[in-house]
Structure 1
Amino acid sequence: MELASSSDVSEIEVVSPIPVDELRPWLASLATTFLDDSEGDNFDRMHEMWRREWELVRSWGVRANGRWVATLATEQRTISIPGPDGATVDLVADALTAVTVSATHRRRGLLTQMLSESLSSAKDRGEPFSILIAAEWPIYGRYGYAPASLASNYTLFTRARERLLTTGDVGSVRQVDPAELGEIAPAIHEACRPLRAGGVDRPGDWWARRLGLKGYQPINHGKTPNYILHESDGRPDGLLRWAGTKEFELNGELGAVSVADLITATPAAYRNLWAYLAGLDVVGEVTLQRRPVDEPIRWLLADGRALRQTYTGDDLWLRLLDVPAALSARGYCGSGRVVLDVVDDDTGGYASGRFLLEAGDDGAECRPTTESADLRVSHRTLASVYLGGFTLRELTIGGSVEELTPGALLRTESLFATTLPPWNATGF
């Protein structure tokens, strides 16, 4: 499909899907906007990664005088959402990625054209919501996306490592090569992902691309990673990817390492891999990114201040497309009944309507209704509380929640409560 911009028919065209023979220049435009390499070895590797799975990508782009000036892609991903009794369930979602507009073509409505088509397509496919990881906060609200989970970065200061970790056994930890890890990493991640809401899957060749398997050449910025496996009773249940970021010096100055992945399916794997990190020789600092906001390891440290939370910010954003489907799929805390008047004035207006939500021991059902509403809520606020990352009361400050029936806000907030904050370890 090719559509012309109403502002200049002869110059600009919106294209979807992107032909595979146009993938390389399309990616060059993407890389340039994201301050990445648009040529050279790393770019060649990125092109090969995209090319090999291009048929799975739903793609859009804008050409101006034959040159790509905007990009957008989506793919089908599976995400864990709150389920019954503190567990989670999986739901298929639209995942938005690779969104760029060249600085030469801003404020011409190009993103609106692409994203309007993208959201409409996702709605037509029956995907209940769309997710993304936003490069910048202000961009996506007008399209109906809202922050739905947080993530934190940490630094662990390990100088007193002999006394730092009060528990842990590194005897069940061993170093492995990429090939061995590639065989078992998918299963470990899929065992870990359901432990919290917000976990996005790693389908297809995700691990092969990262580990340099199946003919892929990995894109490593910095030193080659080290791969660590944890086993309990001979069964793999945890993995770690880390690389050095700072050399140690003979004058006593210690080095530093950065953790790319810490994935654990059991408490033992969690404790023991942290114990391994705390015990690394000639290392004074261990940095970790995109971790849970409530990282539990603090409660196992002899000195909780050795773990410093250096950043906390929005991670997953969510755009509701089908409120009855999304709310019916979710689990709730206890039983209850509430009528929600959902206001959606953003692109598409997909979430607008009045809906009856009934939750009980046998699950939940959400459907349109003409009953009087108990709570009026913006669709962005509903998206923010969907995974359990935020509460209705903390979002009332923005004026997006109006209690129409006394007590309805507290009842609804109690229904949406989760035992743990959501967490996603996977970029896309």
Structure 2
Amino acid sequence: MRPYRVGELTPLPGHWDGLSDTSDGTNGPLRYLVHRDQRGNVDGIANLRLPWSSTADKAGTLVVEALEATNPTAYHALWSVLIDFDLTKTVVAPGRPRDEPLRWMLTNPRAMRITRQSDNLWARLLDVPLALTRRSYDTPGELKFTIDGDRMCPADNRTWRLRADGASVTCVPTSQVADLTITIPALSSLYFGGMSAHDLAYAGRITPHTDGAVGQLARLFRIDPEPHNSFGF
């Protein structure tokens, strides 16, 4: 999945060694679904459990511990099995991406609820020009921005001109007037492409100096689908 989603990492050696089909207390045994394409290549997997319950009113919960698919066909097929599992009333899926397409598969999209949300991906830019020229940009554009207040990496405290045009990306110091001023935590939050520049501006982390600067920043950095890290680090 790493080539298909920003934020995914290579797991540490031995990360998957604990997978087993034996019961784990009341969690029930771990079961596996594998989806293959027409050539027989694996393009999707899901791990699930059916926890044991001593009472009928708490029975019927299916827990999806992992689900990954490299294309919409595999994704749709795996979820179609899981949400139609026999004698199941509730499907619980921890650690899912914030932008889960499953909602739009359901006849009633409101049936899917987010019950808990926490961050699982964090970045802090140390070398601004190197970091910004090593990522890609779906939308071409140019933006001049000022960073100040970076006490850890004072070399970042200056005005930069970022220019992206397809595979050509440059980020160099400039003496021109900046379109906006941004804090290093805000720029780091935008780096993976899932944060709202609008929200950061309203929070006082971005100060625009020209009309449309925040919108241009948002268009440059935004990606689809949103970044996600499925297993932590």
Task: Give CA-to-partner distance per residue, 1:66-106, whole Å, 9 cap, x none.
Answer: xxxxxxxxxxxxxxxxxxxxxxxxxxxxxxxxxxxxxxxxx
Q: What displacement does 1:350 show?
A: 6.4
1:200 to 2, 6, 9: 9
| Aligned equivalents of 1:200, 1:342: Cα separation in 2 | 28
Task: Give CA-to-partner distance per residue, 1:18-58, whole Å, 9 cap, x none.
Answer: xxxxxxxxxxxxxxxxxxxxxxxxxxxxxxxxxxxxxxxxx
Residue 343 of structure 1 corresponds to 148
- SS at the partner of 1:291? coil
1:273 to 46, 66, 78: 78
Q: Where do residues 180-191 of structure 1 align in structure 2 (5 Å cutoff)?
A: none
Q: Where do residues 145-160 of structure 1 align in structure 2 (5 Å cutoff)?
A: none
| Aligned equivalents of 1:285, 1:304: Cα separation in 2 | 14
Aligned length: 229
Which structure is higher in strand share? 1
| Aligned equivalents of 1:346, 1:313: Cα separation in 2 | 28
Larger Rg: 1
Residue 371 of structure 1 corresponds to 176
Q: Tell me if 1:361 matches 2:166.
A: yes
Q: Tell me if 1:245 matches 2:51.
A: yes
- SS at the partner of 1:206? coil
* 8 Å Cα contact 1:319/1:383 also seen in 2: yes
The two structures have a TM-score, normalised by structure 1, of 0.49
Runs of at least 5 residues in structure 2 that lack an aligned partner in the other structure: none
| Aligned equivalents of 1:385, 1:241: Cα separation in 2 | 32
Q: Where do residues 82-231 of structure 1 align in structure 2 (5 Å cutoff)?
A: 192-207=1-16, 209-211=17-19, 222-231=27-36
Residue 214 of structure 2 corresponds to 409
RMSD after superposition: 2.4
Q: What displacement does 1:328 show?
A: 0.3
Residue 100 of structure 1 corresponds to none
Runs of at least 5 residues in structure 1 that lack an aligned partner in the other structure: 1-191, 213-217
Residue 394 of structure 1 corresponds to 199
| Aligned equivalents of 1:309, 1:246: Cα separation in 2 | 23
| Aligned equivalents of 2:52, 2:28: Cα separation in 1 | 10
* 8 Å Cα contact 1:197/1:387 also seen in 2: yes
Q: Tell me if 1:236 matches 2:42.
A: yes
Name the aligned partner's letter for residue 247 of structure 1: S
Which structure is higher in helix share? 1
Q: Structure 1 vs Structure 2: percent identity of aligned residues?
A: 32
Q: What displacement does 1:205 show?
A: 2.8
| Aligned equivalents of 2:90, 2:210: Cα separation in 1 | 52
